[in-house]
Amino acid sequence: MAFCCRRPCGAAAAGALGIAVASCRFLFTDAKLKGSAWLSERVWDAVVVGGGHNGLTAAAYLARANLQVAVLEKRHVLGGAAVTEEIVPGFKFSRASYLQSLLRPGIIQELDLQRHGLKLLPRNPSSFTPTVDGRFLLMGPDASLNEAEISKFSENDAKAYPEYERQLEKFCSVMSPLLDTVPPEMGIKKGLLKGRIWDGWSKTKVLGGLLKRSAKLEQKDIAAFVELLLAPASKVLNSWFESDVLKATLATDAVIGAMASVHTPGSGYVLLHHVMGETNGARGIWSYVEGGMGSVSMAIARAAQEAGATLVINVEVMNLPIMLLLPNWKIPHNGICHLANCTWEREGLIGQVVLADGTVVRAKQVLSNATPAVTFLKLMPDDILPDEFMTGVRCIDYKSGTTKINVAVDTLPRFWACPQSGLGPGPEHFGTIHLGADSMDEIDIAYKDALRGKPSTRPLIEMTIPSVLDNTIAPPGKHVINMFVQYTPFHLTEGSWEDKATRNAFAKTCFDLVDEYAPGFTSSVLGYDMLTPPDLEKVLGLTGGNIFHGAMGLDALFLLRPLKGWSGYRTPVKGLYLCGAGSHPGGGVMGAPGRNAASVVLQDRTK
């Protein structure tokens, strides 16, 4: 059975939308119902392994170039980590990612995502930090609000904050264009004159543009920029501010999703990474998405399907094709490499992707939206690729300290630090609610707990309540709450995440912490879903539970992501490309890896 964008086609024809079955545009095909044999009836121009938002983005751009594209998604729903699921009846959760800002404006415009259903819901205020002593800090896009709120803690900080924002804006203007740029990696045919010319032009364009933008910075700004890239976030923030609560609020952007402390060198870049996005043209503004984060993926999926891409769910890939690039690697004399039931025919460069049910899907090019670890360590034999390359793949840092708890509640949490104003939401409910750390040192203490192999005794929690702005995701009067929790190590020194008692105990720790700030929260919980690092790996394919497909340190960015020498989306396997967050420019719901990878695929086809 194929499905429309929101419901089975027959239901759509009979529903309020009044869409005729004959004119219904199918969005995806369920292999559990239709099977997968039909996928082998043609040679696809491109097959995308993994239907996360980056894979869907790549498929959309390839289909718009008139390629026959198939997206193969293992789960029952498209979107990867950017997905909406109804775990508790009546409540729709953004099950993993939960806020939008990084999605590239060019992608929104080029794929016409608003026409395909994307509706962003900006938040104002955007941040609320209550303290254990009953004070609170509200912040957002309103400069006058920020000045008044920060002044409650420090007059000096209130004066410094606008300049801090302006400086970050300068740095974003330097770095942001790199997100949409293919790293100037050495070309495959670098020995040819044409290849050398192309490489030189590419490097000049990219690096020259970076130098030109950097030249606009004053000398003091250049020094500050280098410090931001290399120094711990704590050093950067201490140089600007004196208020603990302000520094703790800002520091969460430097450690969110990372197994790192605010005192970790290079964490300042992650701080910058999270302010490089925008909502409706406003820099650094994070928004909810109507219908949850799955609406981002669905909008991209509709754009891909409209362009002609075929989207398939409930289909699992077991092996990827093998056709090695370098002449000194071993390839049989007959020109066909047979390995693990997986072949790549030299004639015509037709790759054969093998599915779990044995179906062989043929494609001229294959893009993997999986992590590099899944791509090269699980979907390919490890004895065919060069030792140096495989060593690099095994050394990618996938450590994670993240647990996501999705909670259904029957009433809004009431924070004792705030005056009560009826039953409706107050300013404190609209933005990200920071709990568990009134200072950067408390964040570091929580991190050190995880280093010892135990969940943080006092976790760092980012809580959001999207249902205050989005009435499509919860029953009337009830709410959806996202809790992004740190730090939780993948491996515990005592107990196991598979143990129900261990899981319940940690959930209770988190709920008890919320109760400190909002008494009665625990009693409002109707149900919840918890994804620990092993769950994130098992359910969503995030190796190590790392939400970025690999750490975002300076040693794993741009020309070094995922590996030195392989940052340009190509791989050592002829016709196989990476298009997920494990490639440049990294994690977050931005779509840039998918679009950039598609541009490389199209470039290689023209060659």
Based on the domain organization, do 454 and 384 belong to the same domain?
A: no
Based on the domain organization, do 159 and 261 belong to the same domain?
A: yes
Tens digit of each residue's pLDDT (9 = 90 or more) over 556-590: 999 999 999 999 999 999 899 999 999 999 999 99
**Tally of CA atoms within 13 A in the half-sphere of 537 that contains its CB:** 19
Please count the other Cβ atoms lying within 10 Å of the Cβ belonging to residue 359: 17
Burial class (CB in 10 A: 0-12, 13-18, 19+), 216: exposed
Instruction: Give the DSSP letter of residue 437.
Output: -
Of 46, 524, 115, nearest to 308 by C-alpha is 46
Domain with 159, as residue range(s), is 124-285
Domain-terminating residue out of 255, 285, 315: 285
Dihedral sign from CA coordinates of 175, 179, 180, 182 = positive
Q: How far is residue 59 CA from its own chain's centroid?
A: 17
Output the CA–CA distances (angstroms, integers) from residue 91 to 130, 480, 526, in the order listed: 27, 7, 10
Dihedral sign from CA coordinates of 61, 66, 70, 75 = positive
Q: How many domains does the chain have?
A: 4
* Cα gap 579→480, rounded to integer Å: 32
Dihedral sign from CA coordinates of 138, 144, 148, 150 = positive
pLDDT given for residue 352 in this prediction: 86
Based on the domain organization, do 558 and 473 belong to the same domain?
A: no
Based on the domain organization, do 113 and 188 belong to the same domain?
A: no
Q: 369 with 52: CB under 8 angstroms?
A: yes
Based on the domain organization, do 231 and 214 belong to the same domain?
A: yes
CATH number at residue 56: 3.50.50.60
Q: The tokens 């775990």 sit on which residue? A: 87
pTM assigned to the model: 0.90
Tens digit of each residue's pLDDT (9 = 90 or more) over 260-311: 999 999 888 877 877 777 777 777 789 999 999 999 999 999 999 999 999 9
Based on the domain organization, do 266 and 144 belong to the same domain?
A: yes
- pLDDT over 80 at 2, yes or no: no
Based on the domain organization, do 422 and 309 belong to the same domain?
A: no
Based on the domain organization, do 154 and 264 belong to the same domain?
A: yes
pLDDT given for residue 15 in this prediction: 35
Confidence of residue 218 (pLDDT cuts 50, 70, 90): confident
Confidence of residue 8 (pLDDT cuts 50, 70, 90): very low
Tens digit of each residue's pLDDT (9 = 90 or more) over 445-485: 999 999 999 999 999 999 999 999 999 999 999 999 999 99
Q: 547 with 97: CB under 8 angstroms?
A: yes
Burial class (CB in 10 A: 0-12, 13-18, 19+), 18: exposed
Confidence of residue 43 (pLDDT cuts 50, 70, 90): very high
Of 88, 468, 528, 536, nearest to 287 by C-alpha is 468
pLDDT given for residue 41 in this prediction: 95
Tens digit of each residue's pLDDT (9 = 90 or more) over 393-434: 999 999 999 999 999 999 999 999 987 766 789 999 999 999
Based on the domain organization, do 523 and 574 belong to the same domain?
A: no
Based on the domain organization, do 418 and 276 belong to the same domain?
A: no
Based on the domain organization, do 268 and 174 belong to the same domain?
A: yes
* Cα gap 112→107, rounded to integer Å: 8
Based on the domain organization, do 363 and 402 belong to the same domain?
A: no
Tens digit of each residue's pLDDT (9 = 90 or more) over 513-551: 999 999 999 999 999 999 999 999 999 999 999 999 999
Dihedral, CA of residue 405, residue 411, residue 417 and residue 422, to nearest 10:
150
Q: 240 with 164: CB under 8 angstroms?
A: yes
Domain-terminating residue out of 522, 543, 564: 543
* Cβ contacts of 181 within 8 Å, gap of 6 or more: 206, 209, 596
* Cα gap 129→274, rounded to integer Å: 18
